[in-house]
Amino acid sequence: MRALRPSSTADQKSGPPPVWLMRQAGRYQREYREIRERVSFLELCRTPDLAAQVTVFAVRQLEVDAAIIFADILLILDELGLGLRFEENHGPIFEKPVRSLADVDALPEVPVHENLAYVGKAIEIAVKELGSTPVIGFAGAPFTVASYAIEGGSSRNFTRTKCFMYQEPVAFERLMTRLTDATIDYLKMQIACGASCVQLFDSWVGCLSPFDFDTFIAPHMKRLFDSITPLSPSIYFGTTTAGLLEPMSATGPDIIGVDWRLDLDRAWSLIGQERGIQGNLDPVVLLSDRATIKSHASRVLEQAAGRPRHIFNLGHGILPQTPVDNARYLVEVVRELGSR
Ligand code: CP3
């Protein structure tokens, strides 16, 4: 995947970095909202033509260097029988959260990659339409997905998740193993359908201490990246991970995704200059004006200092109230500043 696998040999400035934005397809777009008036979010994810359409539209509207397939990290839990629904202004809710060893053992043995074949179909359609623009596949990382399974929805401090991890270590381990197996199969299917790169969203892993990450999470992530690395480049993204970057990076992804709470040059000094970094503009910057966007984008580029293994992105998903013009301007200004 040329656009997102920057060369690791040269250290000189090599033009602007590739740029795309997390959650680049979503409610901030009028065209997306119009589709959502007709179909629910889950229907949209499960209809390959429509999912591909919003994926491709975001690339054309923003003129970014990569697509990310339109889907969600929680679909896999619905296949595992947890009963996912999205309530207006309420986020995701699971009917049957996982709270005991018996709950983990009761998870059905289903071929998740077959049940989620509609995501693969959407990738095939998007790849065909986009030609040389790479399509990124993705999944939630097992910890972040487990946190939704255990909490039964979104959470602020992950108390239930951590208590389960500490007090039911056997059950937690078994849940992580099940989710890791399912995620590997799911990502292999996406790669077989044409994804040129995969991103693991571990959005909430930053709630853990380095010791807990090494003890409970790292072995699963190592196994996951060992399985995926021969097939595709990978991005491992999390937020508030300043204290975890070294152990995260040691699990084996090609690229680490970081948020704005850590300067990029500092991130590189933690994980080694040879590894790729994706990030890290604060998405709130896109709610301001052009001059502010330009100065913040310029600061990110200065910290990246033309390193060949930088992918420009936000530090977390684009916010629903973002003006489309500001997102377009960011992409434009990254190209302009990056080619100086
Ligand atoms: O364009 C893209 O980036 C691809 C699509 C994508 C979505 N979700 C679509 C979506 C991706 C990559 C995700 C990942 C995802 N989903 C994460 C990890 C990234 C992150 O934000 O930390 C998480 C934690 C989820 C779980 C999730 N999905 C929640 C908590 C919610 C409800 C809150 C919200 O933002 O609405 C969703 C719904 C969701 N996923 C929407 C979209 C476009 C909004 C649905 C709608 O109302 O149309």
Pocket of ligand 1 (CB under 6 A): 22-27, 36, 41, 68, 70, 72-74, 91-92, 138, 154, 201, 203, 317
Report the b/e string of 84-121 with b at 16+ CB within 10 A.
beeeeeeebbbebbbbeeebbeebeeeebbebbeebbb
Q: Best substitution site from 59, 68, 72, 200 to test ligand 1's pocket, by max atoms within 8 Å of Cβ?
A: 72
Q: How far apart are the first and last CA of the chain?
A: 25
Peptide bond into 115 cis (omega under 30): no
The separation between CA 52 and the C-alpha centre of its own chain, rounded to angstroms, equals 17
The pLDDT of residue 9 is 44
2 among known catalytic residues? no
Distance, in Å, from the CA atom of 216 to the CA atom of 53, rounded to the nearest integer, reads 38
Query: Under DSSP, is residue 257 helix (H, G, I), strand (E, B) or coil?
Result: strand
36 among known catalytic residues? yes
The pLDDT of residue 11 is 45
Report the b/e string of 284-307 with b at 16+ CB within 10 A.
ebbeeeeeebbebbbebbebbebb
Query: Under DSSP, is residue 114 helix (H, G, I), strand (E, B) or coil?
Result: helix
Q: Best substitution site from 19, 31, 73 to test ligand 1's pocket, by max atoms within 8 Å of Cβ?
A: 73
* pLDDT (tens place) for every residue of the chain, 340 residues total: 445 555 444 444 579 999 999 999 999 999 999 999 999 999 999 999 999 999 999 999 999 999 999 999 999 999 999 999 998 888 999 999 999 999 999 999 999 999 999 999 999 999 999 999 999 999 999 999 999 999 999 999 999 999 999 999 999 999 999 999 999 999 999 999 999 999 999 999 999 999 999 999 999 999 999 999 999 999 999 999 999 999 999 999 999 999 999 999 999 999 999 999 999 999 999 999 999 999 999 999 999 999 999 999 999 999 999 999 999 999 999 999 998 7
Query: Under DSSP, is residue 217 helix (H, G, I), strand (E, B) or coil?
Result: helix
Domain 30-338 sits in CATH at: 3.20.20.210
Burial (CB < 10 A; 0-12, 13-18, 19+), residue 1, is: middle
SS3 content of the chain, % helix, strand, coil (to 5): 50, 10, 35
**Ligand 1 mean position to 23 CA, how many Å?**
7
Residue nearest atom 23 of ligand 1, based on CA coordinates? 73
254 among known catalytic residues? no
Locate the domains of the chain by residue range: 30-338
Please pick, among 28, 32, 46, 72, the residue that the annotation labels catalytic: 72
Distance, in Å, from the CA atom of 2 to the CA atom of 22, rounded to the nearest integer, reads 19
The pLDDT of residue 150 is 98
DSSP string, 143-203: HHHHHHHHHTB--SS-HHHHHHHHH-HHHHHHHHHHHHHHHHHHHHHHHHTT-SEEEEE-T
Residue nearest atom 24 of ligand 1, based on CA coordinates? 203
Ligand 1 atom index nearest CA of 317? 21
Cβ–Cβ < 8 Å for 126, 199: no
Structure tokens at 263: 């300067």
Any idea what the Cα angle at residue 15 is, between residues 277 and 296, rounded to 5°?
A: 60
The pLDDT of residue 90 is 83
Query: Under DSSP, is residue 138 helix (H, G, I), strand (E, B) or coil?
Result: strand
Distance, in Å, from the CA atom of 273 to the CA atom of 260, rounded to the nearest integer, reads 19
Query: Under DSSP, is residue 313 helix (H, G, I), strand (E, B) or coil?
Result: strand
Residue nearest atom 48 of ligand 1, based on CA coordinates? 41
72 among known catalytic residues? yes
Q: Best substitution site from 19, 21, 23, 38 to test ligand 1's pocket, by max atoms within 8 Å of Cβ?
A: 23
**Ligand 1 mean position to 88 CA, how many Å?**
13
**Ligand 1 mean position to 14 CA, how many Å?**
33
The total of other beta-carbon atoms located within 10 Å of residue 335's CB is: 16
The total of other beta-carbon atoms located within 10 Å of residue 261's CB is: 13
**Ligand 1 mean position to 314 CA, how many Å?**
15
Query: Looking at the whole model, is its pTM more than 0.85?
Result: yes
Ligand 1 atom index nearest CA of 24? 1
23 among known catalytic residues? yes
